[in-house]
Amino acid sequence: MTEFKNDPRKLSADEKLNLLVEFGARISSELRLDKLLDIIAQQITRMLDVGRCTIYLKDAEKNELWSKIAQGRGLEHTEIRVPLNGNNVVAIVARTGQTINMPNAYEDPRFSMDVDMVTDFRTHSLLAVPLKNNSGKVLGVFQVANKADGTPFDKKDEGILLLLATLASSSIEIAKLYQDVHVSQLETIYRLAVTAEYRDQQDTRAHLKNISIISYLLALALGMNKKEAELIKNASPLHDIGKVALADNILLKPGRLTPEEFEIMKSHTIYGGRILEGAHSKVLQVAHRMSLYHHEKWNGTGYPKGLKGEDIPLEARIITVADVFDALCVSRVYKKAWKTDDAYLYILGESGKAFDPRIVVAFKKIYSSVRKLYLNQTPQNTESASVSQKPPVPTKEKSSLEA
């Protein structure tokens, strides 16, 4: 089993065994499905010394097999999809659970040249084995092509590829589950956020999307890594979740709130904090800090606690810039939309007052991208909003929201 026949690099038995151990270790620690499949394909290409390894997974919902192109010609990460009921190699392997070994693929009617054509690759010999889980269910197909020494794949190769598929199957299943959970968590967050926002927004989706994009860009511009920035992006739609607790007569009041009404309005931060308090997941913990503190101001004049400076959690200092910018750019029942550039000037003017100066600097850096985002979305109602808003001259304006 440790003999890798025809391996031109002539690895010793020990080295081959090490490769196998390494294979097991590397794949068991990777939870991201895309990354995991990349690693598996790379390792197999190396271990079997083949020209290409492609991993197809079943998409039961669509009755298809899918794969991502791993290498070549700028097509990395392009998705290939194949109908599961088709007559080509991978579909047959996936349906029957049987191995297919073709010494010369182009002479076999079950081989389709489609993928070769787009990737500019010429398949000669081809071996495809089923990827099965512990209970024997087919999850997908491992396919390799072109042994480096030009000989056809033999029984030994079949055995090795099947073994590798077996080793990989539980990691793949776990990564798939993990991805499903992650996707459904994000979906739930997004739907919750829509629930909170739809009453007082004309275009909830655009609002939530813009805020999460701006927060993400701000986080990156502040030097956070992609993972941290994504957490902020994913949590940001929930910052106003506490608005679910507000009565319509306040939230939807077409015009200025009285000081008493504004006091009630402020409680949406407290409610949001309560709703998300004690959350277990990282993303909801970030959302908790955002919802409780997104109306705090750098100079200490915000609410609910009047926190100052860096006592305000960083995530909240980020979301507040995104939130105010977007709130200015769209219309509300109580105000018209501002011009994008006026909203920008307003943000700059609030540096050191409402906003952390560092984040305003970051906002300057990303503004050209942000601006494009808003130019592509014609505000449907810049002129049509009904309310008695003063003309938006941000540098002079005393906010209509300040009592």
DSSP 196: H
User: Is residue 325 within 8 Å of 347, Cβ to Cβ?
Assistant: yes
Contacts of residue 274, Cβ cutoff 8 Å, sequence gap at least 6: 242
CB of 292 to ligand C2E, least distance (A): 13
CB of 302 to ligand SIN, least distance (A): 7
355 belongs to the binding site for ligand C2E (CB under 6 A): no
Residue number with CB closer to ligand SIN (62 or 353): 353
Contacts of residue 93, Cβ cutoff 8 Å, sequence gap at least 6: 99, 100, 128, 129, 130, 141, 143
Examine residue 304 and say whether the peptide bond preceding it is cis (omega within 30 degrees of 0).
yes
Site string for Fe ion, 233-252 (x = CB under 5 A): -------x------------
Q: How far apart are CA 376 and CA 276, in angstroms?
A: 34
Residue number with CB closer to ligand SIN (105 or 232): 232
1 belongs to the binding site for ligand SIN (CB under 6 A): no
Q: How far apart are CA 319 and CA 303, in angstroms?
A: 14
Task: Give which of Fe ion, ligand SIN, ligand C2E, none residue 209 binds (C-beta under 5 to 8 Å, depending on kind).
Answer: ligand SIN
Task: Give which of ligand C2E, ligand SIN, Fe ion, none residue 256 binds (C-beta under 5 to 8 Å, depending on kind).
Answer: ligand C2E
**If we measure between CA atoms, which residue out of 283, 279, 292 comes closest to residue 212?**
283
Dihedral angle of Cα 399, 259, 333, 198, to the nearest 10 degrees: 110
Within 141-200, which residues bind ligand SIN (CB under 6 A)? 190
Task: Give which of ligand SIN, ligand C2E, Fe ion, none residue 332 binds (C-beta under 5 to 8 Å, depending on kind).
Answer: ligand C2E
Q: How far apart are CA 198 and CA 244, in angstroms?
A: 10
Q: Which helix or strand (DSSP H or E) is residue 223 part of?
A: none
Q: Binding ligand C2E by CB under 6 A: which of 80, 265, 276, 385? A: 265
CB of 208 to ligand SIN, least distance (A): 5
71 belongs to the binding site for ligand C2E (CB under 6 A): no
CB of 72 to ligand C2E, least distance (A): 47
CB of 190 to ligand SIN, least distance (A): 6
CB of 306 to ligand C2E, least distance (A): 13
Residue number with CB closer to Fe ion (41 or 196): 196
**If we measure between CA atoms, which residue out of 273, 271, 265 comes closest to residue 248?**
265
Residue number with CB closer to ligand SIN (26 or 266): 266
Residue number with CB closer to ligand C2E (16 or 256): 256
401 belongs to the binding site for ligand C2E (CB under 6 A): yes
Encoding tokens for residue 130?
Answer: 């089923």
Residue whose beta carbon is closest to ligand C2E: 399
Residue number with CB closer to ligand SIN (39 or 238): 238
Task: Give which of ligand SIN, Fe ion, ligand C2E, none residue 107 binds (C-beta under 5 to 8 Å, depending on kind).
Answer: none
One-letter-per-residue 3-state SS of 44-95: HHHHHCEEEEEEEEEECCCCEEEEECCCCCCCCCCEEEEECCCCCHHHHHHH
CA angle 308, 235, 304 (to 5 degrees): 30
Residue number with CB closer to ligand SIN (130 or 313): 313
CB of 197 to ligand C2E, least distance (A): 9
Q: Binding ligand SIN by CB under 6 A: which of 46, 176, 199, 205? A: 205
Q: How far apart are CA 261 and CA 250, in angstroms?
A: 6
Which amino acid makes up residue 291?
S
Site string for ligand SIN, 350-389 (x = CB under 6 A): x---x-----------------------------------
Helix, strand and coil content of the chain, in percent to the nearest 5, comes to 55, 10, 35
Residue number with CB closer to Fe ion (272 or 392): 272
**Contacting residues toward ligand SIN, per CB under 6 A:** 190, 205, 208-209, 324, 350, 354, 399, 401-402
